[in-house]
Amino acid sequence: MTGKLNLDPAVVAQARELARLAGQPVTDLARTHTTVSVERAMLRLAGLDGADEDGMPWVNRLTDAIRETTGLEHGVALPAWDAMIAGGYPDLRTLAVDAAAGLAKFRLPMGADAGLAREHATRSVGAGVALIDQRRAERDRMIAATCDPPMPWIYLIVATGDIYEDIPQAQAAAREGADIIAVIRSTGQSLLDYVPEGATREGYAGTYATRENFRLMRAALDDVSRELGRYVRLTNYASGLCMPEIAALAGLERLDMMLNDCMYGIIFRDINPVRTFIDQRFSRQVHARAGIVINTGEDNYLTTADAVDAAHTVVVSQLLNEYFGREAGLADAQLGLGHAFEINPEVPDSFLLELAHAQLIRELFPDAPLKYMPPTKHMTGNVFAGYLLDAFFNLAGVMTDQSILLIGMMTEGIHTPFLSDRDLALENVRYVRRAAGKLGGSFRPEPDGFVAQRARQVLGEATGLLRTIGSQGLLNAIAAGTFGVTRRPADGGRGLDGVVERAPGYFNPAADMMEADQ
Amino acid sequence: MTGKLNLDPAVVAQARELARLAGQPVTDLARTHTTVSVERAMLRLAGLDGADEDGMPWVNRLTDAIRETTGLEHGVALPAWDAMIAGGYPDLRTLAVDAAAGLAKFRLPMGADAGLAREHATRSVGAGVALIDQRRAERDRMIAATCDPPMPWIYLIVATGDIYEDIPQAQAAAREGADIIAVIRSTGQSLLDYVPEGATREGYAGTYATRENFRLMRAALDDVSRELGRYVRLTNYASGLCMPEIAALAGLERLDMMLNDCMYGIIFRDINPVRTFIDQRFSRQVHARAGIVINTGEDNYLTTADAVDAAHTVVVSQLLNEYFGREAGLADAQLGLGHAFEINPEVPDSFLLELAHAQLIRELFPDAPLKYMPPTKHMTGNVFAGYLLDAFFNLAGVMTDQSILLIGMMTEGIHTPFLSDRDLALENVRYVRRAAGKLGGSFRPEPDGFVAQRARQVLGEATGLLRTIGSQGLLNAIAAGTFGVTRRPADGGRGLDGVVERAPGYFNPAADMMEADQ
Amino acid sequence: MSLTGIVRPYGDTTGDGRVQLSFTLPVPFGDETERARAEGAALQLAAKMGMDPAMVVHAKGMGPDFTFFIVYGRVSHLVDLSAVTVTEREFPVLPAAEVNLRIRSALGRKLVVVGACIGTDAHTVGIDAILNVKGHAGEKGLEYYREIKVVNMGSQVSVADLVARAAAEHADAVLVSQVVTQRDAHLTNTREMSAAFRSGLGSQRPLLVAGGPRFDPAAAHELGVDKIFGRGTTPGEVASYLVHALVSQRDPGGWLPPGKERAGAA
Amino acid sequence: MSLTGIVRPYGDTTGDGRVQLSFTLPVPFGDETERARAEGAALQLAAKMGMDPAMVVHAKGMGPDFTFFIVYGRVSHLVDLSAVTVTEREFPVLPAAEVNLRIRSALGRKLVVVGACIGTDAHTVGIDAILNVKGHAGEKGLEYYREIKVVNMGSQVSVADLVARAAAEHADAVLVSQVVTQRDAHLTNTREMSAAFRSGLGSQRPLLVAGGPRFDPAAAHELGVDKIFGRGTTPGEVASYLVHALVSQRDPGGWLPPGKERAGAA
Ligand code: B12
Ligand code: B12
Ligand SMILES: Cc1ncc(COP(=O)(O)O)c(C=O)c1O
Ligand SMILES: Cc1ncc(COP(=O)(O)O)c(C=O)c1O
């Protein structure tokens, strides 16, 4: 990627440094706090699975029981393994059943007891982490045995709400050229403070993210990968109140990419900012270990804010996501920074503006597998106009060398996609890629023309905003509606009650392993 | 238009010279021959209108009667006006009625009689030519009073077969943004050796070109031009066996553009080559006088030949059309040279190839109002794919600065357009123009990249073919299937019996006026 | 072009009855026989829909089990314009000043509106377009009206919270938005909401208004709400409706939100 | 996915019955009332086609008199696959060598084919695809077959000329193409052609074959021809059909083009 925009490297370096300064205090917060979901994720890595008859997972039952007795400020690991050892429990599951029934006793072990608990906990969690490592190796083997498709990867969504309808649709999409399948989640899942169990058939506008659904879909895509001789990646959402746990499950079931943003849950799900920043750090550490590519959600800002006015907020958020991601151990090649083609098609020169934005981001993050999102907001019931807009999105994607193209649906303004919508969408991108895949070579913006100037303007605005955020504090900036014109105070939103400040001696073997990993 | 392709000006000049050499013998043929339709066109300019009760126009009746008695080698003007004067006929119509009934006497006048006939004929035809001049001035006034839309002009077709359905559809199209309306002709008209009369309602896949239909549509478009404050141009076809007459009627009814190609009738209608070359010269002289922009038909070659293999035949034909057009007195601004976006969308890099061809033609003919035709051959019943392909055509059009964009219909592969097809097609081009109208500024093919090399290759092949045509003779080249892989021998096809070699003393006041005009 | 006559679809000639149709059937499109059968099946459906003649202009196998079809053809159904019942808007759209004036003179206090996206729906853009000052389509939202007090609870609000807040605020009207419609989520949620207000506040309930792009505005009664607004609604329409339902009809003795009696009396 | 069962359109769940429909009605789409009426009219049509529920997702006025609609909805019609009659190809597709062999051994001379685009139709690409050596879809055309003599008369051929030429060439088969279908030109022309062969040559008439992208292959009898080929036809299919109709059935006593009796005897 040779620069086409004449960006000033000093400005770029400065923007990165400002992002680091703005993010640092939040990282400190994440290092000194834990959440219920971070604790539960640790338990999941230690092998605790399943749910009670009401569908409430044992990890929740156990964590809640411990919280009620010893509190969470030292983590659940010490009380849990201490109770296992003391109570002679064969496994965490048995302990959790008793705990739920109020039959298990918890305390904060000290001295040698603590050492023993620590040792057992570390061994159990280590097995989970080893499984993640195995899955990662398995992915490498599968890719070697099939083949890794060239970028841009074609990313497609399935969203029937029923895993058993999703599977054939995903396979059909793969056969028609999809490189990545994302299973959209049911509308309400991100607000659930637990991860549902088992195969599910009744989501609204999406299918529940469960370990079993992950497994079923990954197996179905492995079949189709072998059939096609091309590795088809699977994506889900490490987002919402259970971000850390879902990240762990994704690692355990060899998902390949996860939607995972440092601020999406805050802005679009009204999840508490502090909770989110803590959860995202742990989940990213897990993703780093699992070799999972994260996808960030800057595209969403442009659905509530105007895509021209707010273009620079996308860049600011990407720089923050980059900072937080790297800090959590993600390699640049795992940073699927998001952005979107959301300018109102009525705006003059909208396509040139889109090119300017997309090229700017490409040049700012040369090693990141950028994820480019299609138009959604200005998709109406006119499916022909929508098909056209999607084509120009695809074109902008290939012209500016984006890495991951989420393929737009002509019925975006109407309903979650039909099977045929997806097929037509793939025909669309296949044509654009085949016909105009090399057009980028002839795309050379005039040095001081419309495109280059616009790109520089957006970068300038981003730097200015980062400076403001640095001085007011990121949490305050979020409270003031900086992102997606949505105000989210630091003490508002859901899930704050699941946040706990770590006490001295806090112990979480998963966190420790991930931290050591970096 | 600064050159983006680094074409060698010497090669370009040489190509033009080769075209002149190839065309010259055919021009000589046209100067030394006449046709029944050239004679009838002269009579039409002299004011002879209407038809007998079988619908056969009086110009045909009169010409046929004269041909039977004195022959056509001296033209019909001398015998006709001589008979008028001798028989005391008040006008040509009365003479024609008698002639049809076998009651009029014709001879080739000599001496003073000839002088008198010549004088009267010149006066009558002069009145017709003056009317054409008036129409031209009227057009200038209308444009001044409304406004001349910027290029590219949006060109749209109506084709219901019924002038009274065509009119509201044309007006609707104009309101939605069409700058030019073309009324497609009924399938069979070009093979008729006469021009039908009156308003018509039953064409097949098009509406008959008649003087009254011209008048009705021009009046309707004048209304809508005034309503919109934008001059909406009207196009029809000076093509087929009556090319010269239709050109005259177009001039008299203020049509603005006419499909008029030096070879289309030969290749695609199996009209005799000699007949066509004579007719096209006269018709172009009329167009030159009337300020009408001609549209040539090179796009058609790519429906029977492959658009990649035969790309150079398009360029060759354009250079010939340019030569013949200039020779007939047309200004460069009247040379709407045609070409098309017809590469199979399955071909890799098809869009880059299209850009190479379109940019080449743009640079070869910098002052010509190029007419760019949309995909037709590879349009299937998949209307979504078709809508997409049309969008890329529109994009190629704006990126390479084409002058006239004929707007493709998503139902091209199915039926003549519905009202809604046209509306959607206009939405398509409006989006592309608004969003990406300035993309050409950033389209700068690498000097020795794919696009530039392809353009130079096509130009090279064109020069080579012109050299071959020059040595074998244009008529032989056509017979050998050079254009549209269709073989048309010089003595084949329809209408050869309407060709007559001019005798010394041949007189045609219209031809003389046009010739003097140049 | 009469507004009461009989019309037919128009392709390119009056009365030609042409329409375009597309759909998928769960039938394979592999070998010649399968293809013929698939097209036959598509034509059968077209015929059942009243298309005659119908032409399959495109058929594409999608994986081993499905085929997508595009069909063009003619329907002979007549559209009787006089049988189309248009429910005229039952209230005039008023300028903001007029809205404020009527509220002030009739109520003598601010009109209280509580808005929310209920259920798990997080699509706030629509309700914000109605409520926020910024507004929609060039019209300012309800917050801009001096005499309207707006409480915007945001998204993902549970019905219980909504009822409680509406009661606490003495809301004259409750505005809920529903954008996600898969598996009829919007209908279920709206019914649940209106039932909760009925059982929770009884005759004291505020005016209930639902909105979203895929609602059928005629379904208000069935869903237990007073009014439904569909796609493209503007804030001015909503403000005018509120005045119409809560203020203008006060004197002529129309339906009164009983909560207001109390609040007005307080 | 049974091939004989009952299926419904598939949007994104089995049995959901979803289809997409678009059409234009000659109704205005100006003010609010007109818009409501127009959408009501569109829904009426959708209902008559069996869509319930139906949703107008897009409506656009085109000029003062017309409105374009896009409708999505559910149809309850069932598609009964067992009621789909697939006319199996009544002949096997043979390799070129086999075609030649059968002609030579059965006729002992070349099989004569006269082809043309009749009426004012100038679309020769289709018939050329069948006749010319170059062929179509990777298959060589009939000219390539050693035992077939092809006379391609080109386009815009009048029926009279075609009959005369067919007689002069002792044609075994006449192949006509019709691409323009507006106002059913293809049907009119084909009928005219078959009638002319009947009245001109009577029982001596050659085999009559019509082809073109918008023909209904089932309409052969009605149009008075022996066979119709639709879109996507390949030369090999046509050659195989000719062998089937003119050669293979010779011995089993099938229909014989009587002209051939004469020619064969000469
Ligand atoms: C923006 C958007 C989002 C944003 C929402 C941000 C936000 N804070 O609102 C984000 C990115 C977060 C998002 C997420 C999701 N979305 Co979303 N989203 C959209 C999108 C692109 C635009 C919606 C919009 O803002 N329209 C603009 C507003 C102004 O229009 P409106 O809502 O119709 O409102 C007008 C009227 O309807 C009316 N109105 C609306 N409400 C009310 C209320 C009252 C009282 C009144 C009087 C009037 C009124 O007045 C408004 C002004 O005219 C649509 C696709 C599309 N192009 O429509 C999908 C869409 C709505 N989303 C969809 C889905 C499925 C989701 C997800 C559930 C996907 C997933 N599983 O992850 C998630 C989760 C969100 C959730 N739980 O609800 C689907 C819904 C499908 C369906 N019909 O069931 C759509 C249609 C996309 C699709 N084709 O799949 N989405
Ligand atoms: C190429 C083309 C032309 C070329 C024709 C050149 C030529 N020498 O053939 C040119 C540019 C000259 C042309 C002109 C016109 N065309 Co044109 N043209 C087309 C186009 C783009 C492609 C047709 C084609 O070549 N298809 C490829 C061949 C291989 O397919 P096919 O014809 O279907 O043939 C296959 C089968 O059908 C079958 N088959 C066909 N014939 C036969 C015969 C036999 C015996 C057998 C066994 C099989 C068989 O086998 C073939 C191989 O599989 C179509 C649009 C489209 N995309 O389809 C419009 C189209 C056919 N044209 C159309 C029209 C209206 C015209 C004009 C009449 C317009 C006008 N008024 O000026 C003119 C005049 C021509 C005339 N009088 O007929 C319309 C017809 C509308 C309708 N359904 O009635 C179309 C559909 C475009 C449109 N949407 O308006 N056209
Ligand atoms: C980064 C990110 N996370 C999560 C989601 C959606 O997940 P949910 O709303 O189920 O939390 C999105 C939406 O597309 C997203 O962009
Ligand atoms: C130059 C030219 N003339 C004429 C025609 C068609 O006219 P007709 O077939 O009625 O002669 C065309 C076809 O589009 C054309 O390109």
Tokens 């989640």, located at residue: A185
- Within 10 angstroms of residue B490's Cβ, the number of other Cβ atoms is 18
| Inter-chain CB proximity C11 and D24 less than 8 Å | yes
Cα–Cα distance between C11 and B418 in angstroms, integer? 5
Terminal Cα distance for chain C, rounded: 57
Which uninterrupted H or E stretch holds D262? helix D258-265
Q: Which pLDDT band holds residue C255 (cuts at 50, 70, 90)?
A: very low
Instruction: Write the CATH number for D63.
Output: 3.30.30.60
In 3D space, the residue among B269, B242, B273, B270 whose CA is nearest the CA of residue B258 turns out to be B242
CB A376 less than 6 A from any atom of ligand 1: yes
Instruction: Write the CATH number for D143.
Output: 3.40.50.280
Mark residue C93 as left, alpha or beta (left: phi above 0; alpha: psi -120 to 50; beta: remaining).
beta
The average pLDDT across D138-165 equals: 95
% helix, strand, coil for chain B, step of 5: 55, 10, 35
Share of chain A above pLDDT 90, in %: 96
- Last residue in a domain, options A77, A110, A126: A126
Decide if D259 is inside a domain: no
> Given CB atoms, is B260 within the 8 Å cutoff of chain D?
no
Decide if D232 is inside a domain: yes
The amino acid at B157:
I
Give the Cα-Cα-Cα angle A20, A505, A26 (nearest 5 degrees): 20
- Within 10 angstroms of residue A368's Cβ, the number of other Cβ atoms is 24
pLDDT of residue C260: 45
Decide if B2 is inside a domain: no
The amino acid at D114:
V
User: Do D29 and D130 sit in the same domain of this protein?
Assistant: no
The order of strands in the sheet holding A293-295 is: A335-336, A293-295, A257-259, A233-237, A180-183, A153-158, A404-406, A371-373, A338-340
pLDDT of residue D249: 63
Decide if B139 is inside a domain: no
CB-CB contact of B126 with B82 (8 Å): no
Distance B127 CA to ligand 4 centre (A): 30
Decide if C256 is inside a domain: no
User: Do B251 and B387 sit in the same domain of this protein?
Assistant: yes
User: Do C199 and C108 sit in the same domain of this protein?
Assistant: yes
Active site residue B332: no
A29 phi, psi to nearest 5 deg:
-60, -45
Cα–Cα distance between B220 and B164 in angstroms, integer? 11
The average pLDDT across A33-55 equals: 97
In 3D space, the residue among A341, A327, A335, A340 whose CA is nearest the CA of residue A261 turns out to be A335
D58: nearest CB among A382, A416, A418: A382
CB-CB contact of A128 with A513 (8 Å): no
Distance A157 CA to ligand 3 centre (A): 12
Which uninterrupted H or E stretch holds C168? helix C159-168
DSSP 3-state assignment of B401? coil
Tokens 């079949």, located at residue: A223
Domain count, chain C: 2
User: Do D177 and D206 sit in the same domain of this protein?
Assistant: yes
Q: Are strands D6-7 and D79-80 parallel, antiparallel or unpaired?
A: antiparallel
User: Do D64 and D138 sit in the same domain of this protein?
Assistant: no
Q: Which pLDDT band holds residue D1 (cuts at 50, 70, 90)?
A: very low
pLDDT of residue C44: 97
Q: Which pLDDT band holds residue A2 (cuts at 50, 70, 90)?
A: low
Decide if B469 is inside a domain: no
User: Do B417 and B270 sit in the same domain of this protein?
Assistant: yes
Domain count, chain A: 2
The ipTM of this complex is 0.94
Decide if D89 is inside a domain: no
The overall longest dimension of chain B from CA atoms, in Å, is 74
Q: For ligand 2, what atom is nearest to the CA of residue D180?
A: 84
pLDDT of residue C257: 47
Decide if B250 is inside a domain: yes
- Last residue in a domain, options C59, C82, C105: C82
Q: How far is CA A63 from CA A109, A197, D122, D199, in A?
A: 16, 17, 80, 94
CB-CB contact of B55 with B303 (8 Å): no
| Inter-chain CB proximity B442 and A439 less than 8 Å | no
Q: Is the pLDDT of residue D259 over 60?
A: no
The amino acid at A159:
A
- Last residue in a domain, options C35, C52, C82: C82
Decide if B312 is inside a domain: yes
Supply C35's token pair: 């293809």
The average pLDDT across D121-148 equals: 92
The average pLDDT across C82-99 equals: 90
pLDDT of residue D262: 33
Instruction: Write the CATH number for B290.
Output: 3.20.20.440
Decide if C254 is inside a domain: no
- Last residue in a domain, options B453, B469, B497: B453
DSSP 3-state assignment of B291? coil
Residues of B in Cβ contact (< 8 Å) with A388:
387-388, 391, 428, 431
Q: Is the pLDDT of residue D113 over 90?
A: yes
Which uninterrupted H or E stretch holds A235? strand A233-237
Q: Is the pLDDT of residue A474 over 90?
A: yes
Cα–Cα distance between A35 and A43 in angstroms, integer? 13
Cα–Cα distance between C66 and C60 in angstroms, integer? 8
CB-CB contact of D84 with C42 (8 Å): no
Tokens 């009838």, located at residue: B40
The distance of Cα B76 from the centroid of its chain, to the nearest Å, equals 25
User: Do C157 and C44 sit in the same domain of this protein?
Assistant: no
User: Do C74 and C104 sit in the same domain of this protein?
Assistant: no
CB-CB contact of D10 with C26 (8 Å): yes
pLDDT of residue D250: 52
Distance D180 CA to ligand 2 centre (A): 7
Active site residues of A: 264, 299, 371
Tokens 């903001």, located at residue: C96
Closest-CA residue of C relative to D75 is C49
User: Do B108 and B251 sit in the same domain of this protein?
Assistant: no
In 3D space, the residue among B202, B417, B411 whose CA is nearest the CA of residue D183 turns out to be B202
Cα–Cα distance between A488 and B94 in angstroms, integer? 91
User: Do D49 and D116 sit in the same domain of this protein?
Assistant: no
* Closest CA of chain B from C69, distance in Å: 9
Q: Is the pLDDT of residue C197 over 60?
A: yes
DSSP secondary structure letter of residue C118:
B
DSSP secondary structure letter of residue A187:
T
Best residue among B37, B155, B260, B268 to mutate for probing ligand 4, ranked by most atoms within 8 Å of CB: B268
DSSP 3-state assignment of A165? helix
Q: For ligand 3, what atom is nearest to the CA of residue A240?
A: 11
Decide if B136 is inside a domain: no
Q: Which pLDDT band holds residue D263 (cuts at 50, 70, 90)?
A: very low
Residue D71's domain comprises: 6-82
Decide if A284 is inside a domain: yes
Q: Which residues pair with C21 in a beta bridge?
A: C71, D21
DSSP secondary structure letter of residue A439:
G
User: Do C63 and C112 sit in the same domain of this protein?
Assistant: no
Task: Spell out which residues line ligand 4, taking CB within 6 angstroms.
Answer: B 185, 189-190, 237, 239-240, 259, 261, 264, 269, 296-297, 300
In 3D space, the residue among C181, C175, C89, C86 whose CA is nearest the CA of residue C131 turns out to be C175
Share of chain D above pLDDT 70, in %: 92
Q: Is the pLDDT of residue C17 over 50?
A: yes
Cα–Cα distance between C3 and A513 in angstroms, integer? 75
| Inter-chain CB proximity A304 and C124 less than 8 Å | yes
Cα dihedral sign for A136, A138, A141, A143? negative
pLDDT of residue D254: 36
In 3D space, the residue among A281, A285, A275 whose CA is nearest the CA of residue A515 turns out to be A285
Distance D179 CA to ligand 2 centre (A): 5
C44: nearest CB among D23, D25, D84: D84
Mention every residue, 6+ apart, whose C-beta is less than 8 A from residue B166. Answer: B158, B159, B160, B183, B207, B217
Q: Which ranges of chain B have pLDDT less than 70? A: 1-2, 518
Tokens 């989520």, located at residue: C185
Decide if C87 is inside a domain: no
In 3D space, the residue among C171, C189, C191, C169 whose CA is nearest the CA of residue C181 turns out to be C189
Q: How far is CA A104 from CA A22, A48, C34, in A?
A: 44, 16, 64
- Last residue in a domain, options A393, A424, A453: A453
Q: What is the mean pLDDT of chain A?
A: 96
pLDDT of residue C263: 36
Supply A449's token pair: 């023309």
Burial class from Cβ neighbours inside 10 Å (0-12, 13-18, 19+) for residue A88 reads: exposed
Cα–Cα distance between B326 and B314 in angstroms, integer? 18
Closest-CA residue of A relative to C70 is A420
Q: Roughly what angle, to the nearest 10 degrees, separates helices B273-290 and B9-32?
A: 100
The average pLDDT across D211-222 equals: 92
pLDDT of residue C254: 36
pLDDT of residue C86: 81
Residue A51's domain comprises: 34-126
pLDDT of residue D256: 45
Q: Is the pLDDT of residue A241 over 60?
A: yes
User: Do C110 and C206 sit in the same domain of this protein?
Assistant: yes
User: Do D65 and D29 sit in the same domain of this protein?
Assistant: yes
Continuous H helices in B71-155? 77-87, 92-100, 111-145
DSSP secondary structure letter of residue D247:
I
Half-sphere exposure of A128 (CA within 13 A, CB side): 27
CB-CB contact of A166 with A207 (8 Å): yes
Q: Which residues pair with C211 in a beta bridge?
A: C177, C229
Question: What confidence tens digit (pLDDT) does each residue in D98-108 have?
Answer: 999 999 999 99
pLDDT of residue D89: 84
Decide if B73 is inside a domain: yes
Decide if D181 is inside a domain: yes
Supply A324's token pair: 């937080």
A384: nearest CB among B387, B437, B444: B387
Which uninterrupted H or E stretch holds D207? strand D207-211
User: Do B114 and B249 sit in the same domain of this protein?
Assistant: no
Share of chain C above pLDDT 90, in %: 78
The three state secondary structure string of B191-257 is HCCCCCCCCCCCCCCCCCCCHHHHHHHHHHHHHHHHHHCCCCEEEEECCCCCHHHHHHHHHHCCCCE
Q: Is the pLDDT of residue D217 over 90?
A: no
User: Do A309 and A445 sit in the same domain of this protein?
Assistant: yes
In 3D space, the residue among A448, A377, A365, A450 whose CA is nearest the CA of residue A412 turns out to be A377
Q: Which pLDDT band holds residue A105 (cuts at 50, 70, 90)?
A: very high
Active site residue B264: yes
CB proximity under 8 Å: B 402-431 to C: 411, 413-420
CB C54 less than 6 A from any atom of ligand 1: no
In 3D space, the residue among B20, B120, B24, B41 whose CA is nearest the CA of residue B510 turns out to be B41
In 3D space, the residue among A346, A439, A427, A437 whose CA is nearest the CA of residue A385 turns out to be A346
DSSP 3-state assignment of D62? strand
User: Do C121 and C236 sit in the same domain of this protein?
Assistant: yes
Decide if C44 is inside a domain: yes
User: Do C52 and C162 sit in the same domain of this protein?
Assistant: no
Question: What confidence tens digit (pLDDT) does each residue in A336-348 have?
Answer: 999 999 999 999 9
Question: Which chains are within 8 Å of A by 3+ CB pairs?
Answer: B, C, D
Q: Which pLDDT band holds residue D257 (cuts at 50, 70, 90)?
A: very low
CB-CB contact of C47 with D49 (8 Å): no
Distance B462 CA to ligand 2 centre (A): 28
